[in-house]
Amino acid sequence: MGSIDTSTRAESGSDPIPTPNGTANGLHAGEDSIQTPAVDSTGASAENESLRKRRGSGVLPLEVGTRVMCRWRDGKYHPVKVIERRKFPCGGVNDYEYYVHYTEFNRRLDEWVKLEQLDLNSVETVVDEKVEDKVTSLKMTRHQKRKIDETHVEGHEELDAASLREHEEFTKVKNIATIELGRYEIETWYFSPFPPEYNDCSKLFFCEFCLNFMKRKEQLQRHMRKCDLKHPPGDEIYRSGTLSMFEVDGKKNKVYGQNLCYLAKLFLDHKTLYYDVDLFLFYVLCECDDRGCHMVGYFSKEKHSEESYNLACILTLPPYQRKGYGKFLIAFSYELSKKEGKVGTPERPLSDLGMLSYRGYWTRVLLDILKKHKGNISIKELSDMTAIKAEDILSTLQGLELIQYRKGQHVICADPKVLDRHLKAAGRGGLEVDVSKLIWTPYKEQN
């Protein structure tokens, strides 16, 4: 079991695993094909010579940085880059396994593979990475280059180049491959900074109620016989049918808060910061049955935010994704803001997919009101009704081209047919929050 005094803060990362035929991070190929100037044949041959590429099976063991084709779980070969390698105990000179990054997909799919999964005829070892970058940039379309840049820094906008390199180096290899949580065994997506004594564990076992984690199944079984919790260690503030929401104070339940952050970081890549859980409230969503209340996701929130942030981090665990829980958590954060009598906004920066989720929520809420409202309505009135920050309302309506600037002020243009079209494009709203079932008073510092 474990936790330490610092933990990991991350934000909005409940996006689905990309499929082999798709692209990661919501990017789509072929949107733009403006070609950059071609390289003349003399220059190209000189560049190729300076790359000094070696091909074939005579390069074993493969070096870190090698590019090669790898057989993925779909049975097809995909391009990868070798991130790390490790030798099998008592193995021969070439008995290595390799940690690879699938260059077409998000980092969450990085994994250890065996030599037989690699097509050694496709091995491409680049000695001079700077020359490779130069040649590659000449061959790429401008849109492709932009996509790679966006993917590279996605979710790390707060980091400078040196800090980003340090972050990527520190987190490049997943330290925990799988976890067991309740009745689910879950493949992890990213590195999480567990205490050093867990560095040699490929699998961790979590108590689904107190979130203590252990190295072995037998330890978990012994723990479960003694653990008297059947729900998160906080106040139940919402119960509707089988859904329940608990508010957990990070100061009162420090170990739980830290363990929740360790767990969440396994599925969240971006916004890696360390913080004191004392300053946060955690809102843990559960499915309830006769065995207890089982966590499906959560969001965290600062107790006091000068920037009007009503959500710091949000996650739906992989087994429960695509069921509307992420949208429910966003809606719940705004219901709390309404109870507080404040406007709210998610903490920035948002990832691309985080922004997509919020744009969808803001669009549905605002257009529902505009469809039903008779007469004129201002941005301020919309903000008061929804607890959505005025800047978020303005940017959403501008993005939908529903705002015009007339005589020095913004005017909302609400044609019913246009509203219906945008509502349909925004998709379903997910599970609704039954406000009558919310029993909650805003946080006040205890003396």
Nearest to 209 by CA among 195, 192, 226: 226
Q: Answer for the pair 186, 319: CB distance below 8 angstroms, yes or no.
A: yes
Cα separation, 427 vs 442, in Å, equals 31
CA of 85: how far to CAs of 132, 171, 342, 401, in Å? Answer: 22, 15, 51, 51
* Contacts of 172 by beta carbon, 8 Å cutoff, 6+ apart: 83, 84, 99, 110, 191
Which residue numbers are catalytic? 347
DSSP 31: S
Locate 394 and state its tokens. 């303005």
CA of 158: how far to CAs of 150, 164, 270, 335, in Å? Answer: 14, 9, 10, 29
Cα separation, 328 vs 353, in Å, equals 16
Q: What is the DSSP string of 216-246?
A: SHHHHHHHHHH---SS-SSEEEEEETTEEEE
3-state helix, strand, coil in the chain (%, to 5): 35, 25, 40
